[in-house]
Structure 1
């Protein structure tokens, strides 16, 4: 059977759809044969084609993972022996990697004490004098320990001693890398008996990490080697030719030489292609495709290796306490090196922030605050590359984007963490001279850094600033709003917004100075960049929230500006910002023009209007709750109809969520106008609660052949014979190929807001809601373990409370 199986696998690699479909059908039939396990083993060890050997290993891994208990004991023992044999004789890295993954899956079922041959191989290979054998053994070790770390616990001391040796082998960075991955997997399971050994490893670990970072360019060669295994061999020569044509040869010489060596091994005739002239545009496209693959097949190893520091801090911080100074200096060295990748520098800065959060007293005691600040400030004040802007200063930047993982962003987070976890007197003594120097600089990005520093101090050091420094800091921020550089003005607006949010009520006392400045920005809404205006709105909104009656003198000018933006501005984002800030109290004189603008937005179904419409609905909801029943009630029925029309016309979770909030708000001022629409409203909301839209099932890696298992769960007589034994256990209801589920935040928010709205509508409409009570209660109850109880089930129960007694018996009966 092995010969036929190898032929089928070979056909799957052919560039012919009909051949692939035929081979897939044949493979499905082959998988029903009880001899499939031995056949795959034979192909995995005997095929001359490395791609076929790798495919066989991947299929075996899937089979083992999903059907281990159905594999006969004889075939299990045979498989354990064959896998180790294949691993020892294999010469191709990609196949070794797949074999190590197969071994890792088996270790979940066959622990090392039940698989002594595995531990013998690990012991032999990891201690070998041959660097390649040692590297291969450490690859296998990293995979099996990561798969089942607790089962190796009796061997932790032995492994830690091994790592102490391997991490000193600075000429073998790949071996160090695999050792660090294994150490990371072990850390959460280490006990007191391993503490001293772990602690003694830290200095060696830091040196190893430094060498891994230095070796990143050499590791890039290994990444490209993996790329050749992904591409077919003809493509490999084209990709390499593209590198010679498109990459700066001085910077990439080491990588190219390594690639040349690789190419001569896997495709000798491809070397001729290096001397042929091809179209450079075509080569550029090939090269881009190559880099696209590179970013997915191998992440930055040094950055990944640094995860061990995070794991040590999270699990066993006592291990690193004696070495905090060494770790901090190492991370500072990495974060300050602009030649390294952003991801590596970000990792180093996040480690520093983590240490400050966990051991701020130790950081201060060991006099590490000043070195940290001396390194962090240049990162924070660095100018972007020529022709570029910082993400937050870009015209089309998304203010809600939380994925800004630049070194500058994390440098600000380090200072933010200091403010939250260090005594302000000690922090400000060393921080303020650096901040003042930045603020006085002629470099706009240094001035921006000084303002960003003041901004992130506002939350953690609020009491200290309010009582001792508010006037001087506020004066500095106000002066920045007239800076000649918009980057600096934007940072000043952000700082003012932070002050308004965290330094209340004292900051509101300066409204006479601040409001004219802010209103000055509002008067030029259409001329400034949207990113800049967004920060102005942010500062204004935070400041207005706490003014109370003191807003009245400024209200005419403010509303004139807002209404002008709603009526005349061409930019939809600007209209959205104006809508957001228009919903304030004391708006009765301006109510009708605001409503007319909002109604106009809610009848436009263009996609580009979506963000504006969600803000308009939110504004309507706020107006319904604050403007007063007498003013809003005449428009309540029309608002409900507008909401229903939108939900019928547009499929968008954020829009539905805002519509539910509008229905809920209307129920507080005019519940009767909802009664005729309760059937439609509750139907939409219950559909939202039942919907699985936005739920994503994540498959495990290498599911290219998942279709082969489609029929494996059929318990027919043919499959029940041979290599399968049927256990008496109940079959899991969750597909074992599914690693987990995720739900997009928009759909979670929709469900939570639907529950809150159902509760409030039930409360306000009273008996009219009773026909819908049982179904809504039951649906919310089913979601109790899926989404936030506070946001959903508890809110709905609280809202349903007044009408529950009349239906308590029926609901209780169903919920059991």
Structure 2
């Protein structure tokens, strides 16, 4: 064990040759049947947090090869030992890495046996969820995110407990706990929706749990809104990506939540201070609705507001981009977007999707109302001219899409 700890410690030295020698020796040690036991011993006893962190990462990577070959007789000891390490680790980064080890064990269990369960794991999760220390509560949802990504089936029998935990943690006083809970809910919803979208079988239990979890969407959006205000746009993009996936599934997962999802999406699309990728991710949710649930979008009552946002995006051109749309063929692929995405491009694409997919009974009247309002704008200022250009652009795009 001392030899392994020393080799792991050498990986943080600035000497490249020392690192290479340590890696060579590590390969031999990690082939030993007792490698997992040695790594767990180092993880639980080393006073160097770097060594513990590396030990956890290496342990996770080696579990797959050792699980069936060397651990058939003592898997329960490994499972119990890892849970003990998770509960006792004081350093956040190391604790999160141990959570990844736990998730890998769960994945191996599910892969080997349908319906595999690990009751002791949920005992630890419940204890961490109720902890007074913020980082321990956060770890609960970091682990649930990992589990949701690799072994969601193991979570299903505990959905009532999880729903209660998520409802509490999405409103936790600590922002990191709220964000971690948001990730966990997103992972579970994405898992179920992706399987359904790919045509894979989703059993009734999974579907029922997914429908229950969708009730968390308003609370999820509250957290996402906080992340957006704090500049954590990557977190918001993750939630938007989940919404896009939920929309594309044949299951009616998102149907009852459009009343909160669409206003949030439109708010992000109009936020000029945000990165264009974030605004594009928001538009993608609406594009997906156009493609997969056009009648639902039409009946939602939000088409007029969507048209207003499209007109606003077109009119907010910093140059003559709106005019360029009028003179650029809709199928012109010669320019592959060297300048990247723009708000006007996002608007044009969304309007085209609306015209092509949403029934005219829901789409044409709101669109023409906005077009008429913008074209009749008599303001001689540049702002008024931009409004009129936006209306002309919308008319051109809709005519093209409705052919």
Q: Same fold (TM over 0.5)?
A: yes
Runs of 4+ in structure 1 over 4 Å off: 111-114, 189-192, 437-441, 443-452
* CA 29–192 in structure 1, closer or farther in 2 if over 3 Å, else same: closer
Q: Aligned equivalents of 1:425 and 1:307: distance in 2?
A: 28
**8 Å Cα contact 2:317/2:386 also seen in 1:** yes
Match for residue 79 of structure 1?
78
**Normalising by structure 1, what TM-score?**
0.42
Match for residue 135 of structure 2?
132
Return the match for 2:351 from 397, 401, 415.
415
TM superposition shift of 1:438: 8.1
Return the match for 1:432 from 371, 377, 397.
371
**Number of matched pairs:** 370
Return the match for 1:181 from 183, 191, 198.
183
Q: Aligned equivalents of 2:377 and 2:4: distance in 1?
A: 69
Q: Does 1:457 align with 2:391?
A: no
Q: What are the equivalent positions in structure 2 for 1:273-292 lying under 5 Å apart?
A: none
Q: Aligned equivalents of 2:251 and 2:373: distance in 1?
A: 31
**8 Å Cα contact 1:209/1:306 also seen in 2:** no
**8 Å Cα contact 2:240/2:281 also seen in 1:** yes
**8 Å Cα contact 1:57/1:98 also seen in 2:** yes
* CA 366–41 in structure 1, closer or farther in 2 if over 3 Å, else same: closer
Q: Aligned equivalents of 1:91 and 1:365: distance in 2?
A: 52
Q: Deviations over 1:156-178 (max 9, x none)?
A: 23322322222233x33332333
TM superposition shift of 1:64: 0.9
Q: Deviations over 1:412-451 (max 9, x none)?
A: 2221111012306435432422553589873576566455
Q: Deviations over 1:587-643 (max 9, x none)?
A: xxxxxxxxxxxxxxxxxxxxxxxxxxxxxxxxxxxxxxxxxxxxxxxxxxxxxxxxx
1:383 counterpart SS class: coil
**8 Å Cα contact 2:142/2:184 also seen in 1:** no
Q: Deviations over 1:565-592 (max 9, x none)?
A: xxxxxxxxxxxxxxxxxxxxxxxxxxxx
Q: Aligned equivalents of 1:343 and 1:460: distance in 2?
A: 25
Q: Does 1:172 align with 2:174?
A: yes
Match for residue 95 of structure 1?
94
* CA 137–16 in structure 1, closer or farther in 2 if over 3 Å, else same: same
Q: What are the equivalent positions in structure 2 for 1:548-559 lying under 5 Å apart?
A: none
Q: Aligned equivalents of 1:16 and 1:79: distance in 2?
A: 34
Match for residue 382 of structure 2?
442
TM superposition shift of 1:199: 4.8
| Superposition RMSD in Å | 3.2
* CA 355–118 in structure 1, closer or farther in 2 if over 3 Å, else same: same
Q: Deviations over 1:344-366 (max 9, x none)?
A: 32222222232333443344434
Q: Deviations over 1:133-181 (max 9, x none)?
A: 2111111111122111123222223322322222233x33332333233
**8 Å Cα contact 1:435/1:453 also seen in 2:** no
* CA 36–438 in structure 1, closer or farther in 2 if over 3 Å, else same: farther
* CA 172–356 in structure 1, closer or farther in 2 if over 3 Å, else same: farther
Q: Aligned equivalents of 2:249 and 2:299: distance in 1?
A: 23
Return the match for 2:159 from 156, 159, 177.
156
Q: Aligned equivalents of 1:66 and 1:180: distance in 2?
A: 32
Q: Which runs of 5+ in 2 are unaligned?
A: 193-201, 328-332
Q: What are the equivalent positions in structure 2 for 1:240-319 lying under 5 Å apart?
A: 300-315=234-249, 318-319=252-253
Q: Deviations over 1:100-150 (max 9, x none)?
A: 222221111224854322121112212434433211111111112211112
Q: Aligned equivalents of 1:445 and 1:49: distance in 2?
A: 62
**8 Å Cα contact 1:381/1:449 also seen in 2:** yes
Match for residue 36 of structure 1?
35
Q: Aligned equivalents of 1:21 and 1:350: distance in 2?
A: 46
Q: Aligned equivalents of 2:296 and 2:21: distance in 1?
A: 66
Asked which structure has the greater CA Rg, the reply is 1
Match for residue 199 of structure 2?
none
Q: Deviations over 1:723-765 (max 9, x none)?
A: xxxxxxxxxxxxxxxxxxxxxxxxxxxxxxxxxxxxxxxxxxx
**8 Å Cα contact 1:420/1:459 also seen in 2:** no
Match for residue 202 of structure 1?
217
* CA 65–445 in structure 1, closer or farther in 2 if over 3 Å, else same: farther
Return the match for 2:257 from 323, 332, 336.
323
Return the match for 2:227 from 212, 216, 230.
212
Match for residue 330 of structure 2?
none
* CA 172–316 in structure 1, closer or farther in 2 if over 3 Å, else same: farther
Return the match for 2:267 from 333, 347, 372.
333
* CA 179–28 in structure 1, closer or farther in 2 if over 3 Å, else same: same
**8 Å Cα contact 2:145/2:184 also seen in 1:** yes
* CA 364–157 in structure 1, closer or farther in 2 if over 3 Å, else same: same
* CA 94–62 in structure 1, closer or farther in 2 if over 3 Å, else same: same
Q: Aligned equivalents of 2:338 and 2:401: distance in 1?
A: 20
**8 Å Cα contact 2:307/2:367 also seen in 1:** no
Match for residue 611 of structure 1?
none
**8 Å Cα contact 1:173/1:215 also seen in 2:** no
Q: Aligned equivalents of 2:215 and 2:39: distance in 1?
A: 45
* CA 199–148 in structure 1, closer or farther in 2 if over 3 Å, else same: closer
**8 Å Cα contact 2:371/2:394 also seen in 1:** no
Match for residue 335 of structure 2?
399
Q: Aligned equivalents of 2:73 and 2:288: distance in 1?
A: 50
Q: Aligned equivalents of 1:18 and 1:366: distance in 2?
A: 64
